Structure 1
């Protein structure tokens, strides 16, 4: 570990140039995508090759409760070793700090199957075993909102530099982005310090809603960046007296926030996009990939829409897909093929919410495409009209989504059965907790009227 600084990316070395590193944050993503781990002095980090965390971090719900997934609950330690390629700055801290994502294995060196990053690696390895390399390009949507310290109060848009609340229905407006320009400036500055490349930032349709696009690349690398970006964006917002939220539907009567994923697959030997043939036409593999999406996406909606709030996003006429149709340059379909040249032919999955765990959502989406490539079914005919008029074909609530997930044998084999068992157990407990909550709507409309 003495020469570990030579193994970190150039951006991290540049951030520390001429400075003394104070602290290293050793982190992993839990089931929800929350960063867990330890912070330690840089001198101590340099003296150790690994550290330990109990495997129970993957049995914790979003509310902090613990679940029993049917395994032996003795909380054995996992061994965490640094992935130095992920080392990046934490530029919002008061001292000079690096973050490092860690690999997770058991005492025999076997990757822990319930760790979300390992789930994604497992799916990528399935592609590689077939001679393929999956490519992804994610889009991140989120809201900047006024500070909300009382959960009983509705979320409000932030106050802009004009002294007015951010306005809705201002998609692609540059003046709307300028209203909270200082937050955007810090996002850019933090991303530059961390060595991340942003492909673009724009105003979305909701009040204070922003979309940020990332360059295409390796699934694991992009999931790492989204994991880091969520923290980066939250920290930038807090500097300017507002919150950044990745809830799927934080504000009533506003659009929700998605994490659209663009997928392509290249041949590892030739580097050719297998979705296009030598003449630039669609290939059978392209159609098989889409068919896999149509056949298997319902079984992983519990991963792409992991909370009860997630299903509030699937509402007609709020710019969210509510179907499994596919079409070319058609944003009413859940599966969209953007306009591109043959070398960039890709499939966009528009179903995932931004509240997802990026490792798991990318893994689940790629798993659908993988099963399509292996099963070689044909998709439904290309849709050319307004797909909002079609039957959704999707679960409407988390409980139904979990029921479909529980019986999806092919998908559970791809993602790994130990992970699926744990994930379902965590989400069943979260859903049960929600069902015990009585909402203001119920008190208002039912207390004296029924």
Structure 2
């Protein structure tokens, strides 16, 4: 679809652009018709966090809100292929369709559409009503439900880093920073530079407009270390809702960048010599009866549950690394003596460790997981981080001592490649019990197939150093 001008975006903006209060199908149809919505994008996040789905005219949506799509939608690799039959994973194209039902709380407008359009995230189920266990949104819901059984509610706040780059139509050429309003590309480090953000004021105005039109809640926007590398922080809240917001934000930022003849990329390491991009996840736990954090006692001191939560991350993060760093490129980000952590150490307000406890009042005590990369699926990354913390609570172990100084010189605690990471995940029984056999086998097959596709490509490094020397 063509993109809207800012004036056409504002025509659809209103205080309830995101239909948080819509309880059912009838109310949703009224919401759509009152705004003159012509088309509804029925979308679902796949294993990579890519939006799949169907476009429906509003009239057809009014008659039947559910859609059907093949079971293969959750078995696709990032290159669009399907894993071969292998072990426990078998993709059978004769399995038939899955049914996708709308979550009306996610209904919002599509502000960049040429004609008035709305979007609606759907959940997958089998024909007998069972949820699809390996669907990413369902995986996160299952982890949240495990907390609910303990009388706890996870509260999360993601931070999403990304790069703006010049359009790149030939993958053989490296990416380059875009040209800002000064007419020059960035050089050197511009961390927290307001002037560097101002280079792209028009773009960020559109991002804010698009976000407001969808009811997405930006906390802060900053310039990160890399050339034209930015970070958007979201307000804390419900885990599933925040995963939805990250899912929609990625799409929003890409669309806004395209309008300004740029690409926005969430690759973990898009450019050599520049820092990688992360998706840090801040998490705390609230008692559902009292509404208070369980990480601080009445005197404001950290509780044993807080330390159990940290210990669970320390123990199990290496085993979920294939989810937090899901591609070959993801592991290029993990460099010692860089801003990217290579360990599962923890510390107070220490950005060289994988697990940071930010300075905060006792009521906001939380743990920041700095290991996930920005290319990870937000549903799965949040689920993986929370699963580690959940196991820590159940096992009641204590973490290592906090790191006071730099942890950059410490040995690697994390897998160095995707195949090793997948093996750790598959062999970890406590995590397999949480994620389910269906998800583990599907995810493993996808990652192995993606690796085989990668191995068919000869890199410039191989031509540079092997061509005439070996």
Instruction: Give me the whole-angstrom Cα distance separating, in 2, the residues matched to 1:440 and 1:37.
Output: 36
Q: Does 1:269 align with 2:289?
A: yes
How does the TM-score come out when normalised to structure 2? 0.92
Task: Name 1:20's counterpart in structure 2.
Answer: 36
SS at match of 1:277: coil
Q: Does 1:148 align with 2:180?
A: no
Task: Name 2:56's counterpart in structure 1.
Answer: 40
1:390 to 397, 404, 410: 410
Asked if structure 2 preserves the Cα contact closer than 8 Å seen for 1:144 and 1:243, the reply is: yes
Q: Does 1:79 align with 2:99?
A: yes
SS at match of 1:140: strand
How does the TM-score come out when normalised to structure 1? 0.96
SS at match of 1:428: helix
1:298 to 312, 315, 318: 318
Instruction: After TM superposition, list the pairs within 5 Å mapping 1:6-405 onto structure 2.
Output: 6-7=27-28, 13=31, 19-67=35-83, 68=85, 70-71=89-90, 73=92, 74-405=94-425
Instruction: Give me the whole-angstrom Cα distance separating, in 2, the residues matched to 1:287 and 1:2.
Output: 39
Instruction: Give me the whole-angstrom Cα distance separating, in 1, the residues matched to 2:286 and 2:28.
Output: 28
Asked if structure 2 preserves the Cα contact closer than 8 Å seen for 1:2 and 1:47, the reply is: no
Q: How far apart are residue 4 of structure 1 and its match? A: 3.3
How big is the alpha-carbon RMSD for the aligned residues of Structure 1 and Structure 2?
Answer: 1.6
The count of corresponding residues between Structure 1 and Structure 2 is: 445
**1:331-379 Cα distance to aligned partner (Å, 9 max, x none):** 0000000000110000000000000000000000000000000010110
Distance of aligned partners of 1:294 and 1:26 in 2 relative to their CA distance in 1, 3 Å threshold: same
Distance of aligned partners of 1:3 and 1:430 in 2 relative to their CA distance in 1, 3 Å threshold: closer
Q: How far apart are residue 7 of structure 1 and its match? A: 4.2
Asked if structure 2 preserves the Cα contact closer than 8 Å seen for 1:2 and 1:46, the reply is: no
Q: How far apart are residue 89 of structure 1 and its match? A: 1.1
Distance of aligned partners of 1:345 and 1:19 in 2 relative to their CA distance in 1, 3 Å threshold: closer
**1:88-124 Cα distance to aligned partner (Å, 9 max, x none):** 1111010000000012110111110010000000000
Asked if structure 2 preserves the Cα contact closer than 8 Å seen for 1:168 and 1:208, the reply is: no
Q: How far apart are residue 242 of structure 1 and its match? A: 0.5
Instruction: Give me the whole-angstrom Cα distance separating, in 1, the residues matched to 2:436 and 2:143.
Output: 9
SS at match of 1:260: strand
SS at match of 1:323: coil
Instruction: Give me the whole-angstrom Cα distance separating, in 2, the residues matched to 1:168 and 1:89.
Output: 39
Instruction: Give me the whole-angstrom Cα distance separating, in 2, the residues matched to 1:101 and 1:285.
Output: 34
Gap regions ≥5 residues in structure 2? 1-21
Q: Does 1:4 align with 2:20?
A: no
Q: How far apart are residue 143 of structure 1 and its match? A: 0.4
SS at match of 1:420: helix
2:452 to 421, 425, 432: 432
Asked if structure 1 preserves the Cα contact closer than 8 Å seen for 2:157 and 2:237, the reply is: yes
Q: How far apart are residue 3 of structure 1 and its match? A: 7.3
Q: How far apart are residue 317 of structure 1 and its match? A: 2.7
Provide runs of 4+ in structure 1 moved above 3 Å: 1-5, 16-19
Gap regions ≥5 residues in structure 1? none
Q: How far apart are residue 18 of structure 1 and its match? A: 6.3
SS at match of 1:389: coil
Instruction: Give me the whole-angstrom Cα distance separating, in 2, the residues matched to 1:249 and 1:169.
Output: 16
Task: Name 2:6's counterpart in structure 1.
Answer: none
2:430 to 395, 410, 413: 410
